[in-house]
Structure 1
Amino acid sequence: MADLKEKVIIDTDCGVDDAQAIVIALSKQFSDTIYVIGITCCSGNVFVDQVTINVLKVLTVLGRLDIPVYKGCEKPLIPSDLDTTHIFGEDGLGNVKDIPEPDPSMVQSESAVNFLTRISQEKPGKITLLAIGPLTNIALACRLQPNFGKCFKKLVIMGGNYQGIGNTALCAEFNFHFDPEAALVVLSEFTSPIIMITLEFCRKYFMSQKFLENCLNQGTACSHFLQKITARSRQLHTDGKYGLPIDKITIYDELAAAVVVSPSIVISSEHVFATVELEGKYTRGQMVIDWRDVLKKRKNVSIIKEINFELYKSIFHKALQ
């Protein structure tokens, strides 16, 4: 039966939005069609050791500790000092104290990058790779295995921006700005299809506080867990710290997970050439798109432009049941 399911690997820097994306990917509503074969971890929202603990916490709540977790890169290809603990807390999951600590020894001894290169050769063309953190692990796998970027059914990335409006940087989205060199390597060297959930796309869609509260009050172990870990970021929204209407909640990695588990959710996309700016004083890490085909380069990414958001809301609500 597992051979008939869509095989997925999740590469993550597990903070609150990543945790919710994992919940969607492992939702029972997709248990007949989606098979997550591993979760690889890298630094980003928090240091990678904490990321592995966070992933294990999520898997514990979901009763899915059968899924192997792999520790990956501790630093971006060129070290940076980016810090998002003011958003997600020191632990990346809202500094919640009454969540049981999982056993760190459950993390696999094989490194994330070795796992990725190995599995790419064992199951070429069979795996969807969902990247919801910086692309460090994936870039290093490209360097270790020359044909790595050819070996996947598709790569779905939450990252990048193209309108020059950043989040943690002036002009760049966090995942790309954390490791711009890795993002450049992946966009340049992957020939498997790349589907991108950009910052601009995510800012088109918001969940209302009322709808989110309805989802979080379902009385399940999963909804109770997410209610705890999202409390800090929800309060920041309420306090107006994000510069958005206080009744709106932004969603990021969750949208990428929804595109993987339910591809029919996509209404429109555009196939373009994209690269990453490395040298700009203010624009380092910004994704650059050749909208007018001036460079005559291979169109390497599909930018998602519109989804069925009502379907997304249904997916998210059911995932917490």
Structure 2
Amino acid sequence: MDTRRYIIDTDAGIDDLQALFLALRHLNVVAITTVAGNVSVEKVTKNVTKVLEVSQKQIPIYCGAEMPLCKDIENAESYHGEDGIGDHEEIGKMEGCTELINTTMSAAEFILQEAQTEGLNMVCIGPLTNLAIAMTLDSSLSEKIENTYIMGGTLFGKGNIAPNKEFNFNFDPEATAKVINNFKNMHIIPWEAAVDNPVPKKLEEAIFDKDAEGKLKFLAQANQKNFNELKFFEICDGFAVLAIINPDLCTESYNLIAEAYTQGEAAGQISYMWEKYCFAFDKKKVNCKVYHKFNMDECCDLLLQSLTE
């Protein structure tokens, strides 16, 4: 297991489940922080308690931002379900490990507390609101976090909610810009990673096997409605954790200069400066590694292993 310290910051929708199960199996997760995004932060937090129940893990949960910094909530219940994880009757009956919800401080406050000790890593698989709030409380936060793994944005402008726009980054443009334009050592999984790395049939068959149990069954139930309608299953947030567990799983990545925007039609968008194409490219300003292509057979084997152990 990776012994470095990680906080998983999540809006716990159906795609977040892959990342959470992988992280709980392979990383030293000191806490899970929740943020509004796919659904309300209350529902997100409840979903995390259920993930911990089925994983049999005792990890503290810190509730975070209830809404974006400067705009109204535009959630994704139409895709993730009203509860955020597929509206499956059996999952709905789960109590969840609600005793793990810590009410002594907010998600942002906990992030700040943990960042005072060297070696903290963040895995952000939802909107970046909690991290942006923490930065407002401590402007030097970006220098205190070792690595930040982020699922968000687009690499080639192929958005999932609008041209050039990906859900996580567009949900809170101000938070996105505050983080992207200030942090170094970012590892970004763009939306195209989910689209351009199709899942092998063997993983779909294993997940939706009627005899599946435990974590595998939970993931199948959460994804069943969408799988029935769309006829495919994809890895999205899971890549952020897979890139930590084994960086060699990524077969194509780029060291780029990222910038995010908050104004007009560009609000919620991110753009990259590429050394190959831009005369003004300065290697000293590179602030992120962007992951695009993955060895899907090995990724799926690792995900399946994490779901069945």
Distance in 2 (alpha carbons) for counterparts of 1:162 and 1:276? 12
Contact 1:142–1:189 (CA under 8 A) maintained in structure 2: no
Residue 318 of structure 1 corresponds to which residue in structure 2?
A: 305
The alignment partner of 1:289 has SS state of: strand
1:279-294 mapped onto 2 (5 Å cutoff): 279-281=263-265, 283-291=266-274, 292=278, 294=280
Contact 2:181–2:260 (CA under 8 A) maintained in structure 1: no
Distance in 2 (alpha carbons) for counterparts of 1:285 and 1:146? 22
State yes or no: 1:17 paired with 2:12: no
- Equivalent residue for 1:119, pick from 114, 121, 137: 114
Contact 2:65–2:130 (CA under 8 A) maintained in structure 1: yes
Residue 138 of structure 2 corresponds to which residue in structure 1?
A: 145
The alignment partner of 2:233 has SS state of: strand
1:1-321 mapped onto 2 (5 Å cutoff): 5-27=3-25, 30=26, 34-64=27-57, 66-99=58-91, 100-102=94-96, 104-109=98-103, 110-121=105-116, 123-124=117-118, 126-191=119-184, 193-217=185-209, 219-238=212-231, 248-281=232-265, 283-291=266-274, 292=278, 294=280, 296=282, 298-321=285-308
Contact 1:183–1:276 (CA under 8 A) maintained in structure 2: yes
Aligned length: 300
Larger displacement relative to structure 2 (84-93 or 142-151) = 142-151
Q: What 5-or-longer segments of structure 1 have no aligned partner? A: 239-247
Deviation at 1:97, TM superposition (A): 2.0
Contact 2:53–2:97 (CA under 8 A) maintained in structure 1: no
Q: What 5-or-longer segments of structure 2 have no aligned partner? A: none
TM-score calculated relative to the size of structure 1: 0.88
Distance in 1 (alpha carbons) for counterparts of 2:200 and 2:230? 11
Distance in 1 (alpha carbons) for counterparts of 2:279 and 2:29? 37
Deviation at 1:201, TM superposition (A): 2.2
Deviation at 1:216, TM superposition (A): 4.0
The alignment partner of 1:249 has SS state of: coil
Deviation at 1:194, TM superposition (A): 0.5
Distance in 2 (alpha carbons) for counterparts of 1:131 and 1:237? 26
Deviation at 1:188, TM superposition (A): 1.5
Deviation by residue 1:84-125 (Cα, 9 ceiling, x = unmatched): 11111000010112221225453101210000001000x22x
Deviation by residue 1:164-219 (Cα, 9 ceiling, x = unmatched): 2211233200000001111111111213x101100122211121455312134363
Indicate the RMSD between aligned Cα atoms, in angstroms.
1.9
Q: Which amino acid aligns with 2:29?
A: V
Distance in 1 (alpha carbons) for counterparts of 2:212 and 2:202? 16
Deviation by residue 1:250-287 (Cα, 9 ceiling, x = unmatched): 22101111112222322332111111132232x32111
Distance in 2 (alpha carbons) for counterparts of 1:185 and 1:39? 21
Contact 1:95–1:229 (CA under 8 A) maintained in structure 2: yes
Q: Which amino acid aligns with 2:125?
A: I
The alignment partner of 2:153 has SS state of: coil
Larger displacement relative to structure 2 (305-314 or 55-64) = 305-314
Contact 1:258–1:312 (CA under 8 A) maintained in structure 2: yes
